[in-house]
């Protein structure tokens, strides 16, 4: 049998787990029912259907949630229905400290209309290629990043354009 020793720094660390699509809240409840501390940041948003309008709670981060578990509990977490894997970064488990989790909790509790923006690791000055839309395969240089939009200088057109971030891919050349 393997003995794990948990240091103080490991106790203060939250691991990121990847879940099945739209299972974040279910997995959160399943983990809590096993006495495993988990956190699924939820935001309230108004959804409209043809016949009604309703305020619903949706996960801030699709398919991700946080779990505070020692190494002995990791297998129990992985065996929980809906959990796909622990998220790794550079070959090591991706973790957040308690302060970062508290900051996320405070933001979710304090602000409304929160949205996450998944930028493809781009910075001002990067050369990018448009991978979707009418300007498909055109290249440009990032001048400014504003929320979900990126201002690009398009040398081929001799102008600047505003493009949605999800339409871009960092160019190697």
The helix (run of H) or strand (run of E) holding residue 18 is: strand 13-19
Which residue ranges form the domains of the chain, and what is each CATH number? 11-110 (3.30.70.940), 127-170 (2.30.30.30)
Q: CA quadruple 120, 122, 128, 132: dihedral positive or negative?
A: positive
The helix (run of H) or strand (run of E) holding residue 32 is: helix 24-33
**pLDDT attached to residue 161:** 81
- Of 152, 123, 125, which is closest to residue 140 (Cα–Cα)? 152
* Beta strands in 100-166, from DSSP E residues, in sequence order: 127-130, 139-146, 149-154, 159-164
**pLDDT attached to residue 172:** 55
Tens-digit pLDDT string for the chain (173 aa): 333 334 445 567 899 999 999 999 999 999 999 999 999 999 888 888 899 999 889 998 889 999 998 888 999 999 999 999 999 988 888 899 999 999 899 888 887 767 665 655 778 888 888 877 777 788 888 888 877 778 888 877 778 888 777 767 766 55
**pLDDT attached to residue 45:** 83
């Amino acid at each position: 049998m393997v003995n794990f020793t948990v240091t103080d720094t490991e106790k203060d660390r939250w691991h990121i787990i990847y879940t099945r699509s739209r299972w974040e809240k279910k997995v959160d409840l399943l983990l809590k029912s096993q006495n495993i501390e988990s956190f699924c940041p939820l935001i309230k948003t108004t959804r409209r259907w043809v016949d009604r309008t309703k305020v619903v709670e949706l996960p801030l981060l699709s398919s991700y949630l946080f779990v505070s578990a020692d190494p002995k509990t990791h297998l129990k977490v992985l065996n929980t229905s809906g959990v796909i894997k622990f998220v790794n970064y550079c070959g090591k488990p991706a973790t957040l400290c308690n302060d970062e989790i508290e900051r996320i909790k405070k933001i979710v509790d304090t602000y409304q209309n929160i949205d996450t923006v998944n930028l493809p690791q781009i910075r001002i000055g990067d050369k990018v290629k448009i991978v979707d839309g009418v300007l498909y395969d055109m290249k440009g240089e990032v001048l400014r990043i504003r929320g979900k939009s990126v201002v690009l200088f398009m040398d081929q057109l001799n102008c600047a354009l505003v493009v949605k971030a999800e339409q871009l891919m960092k160019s190697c050349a």
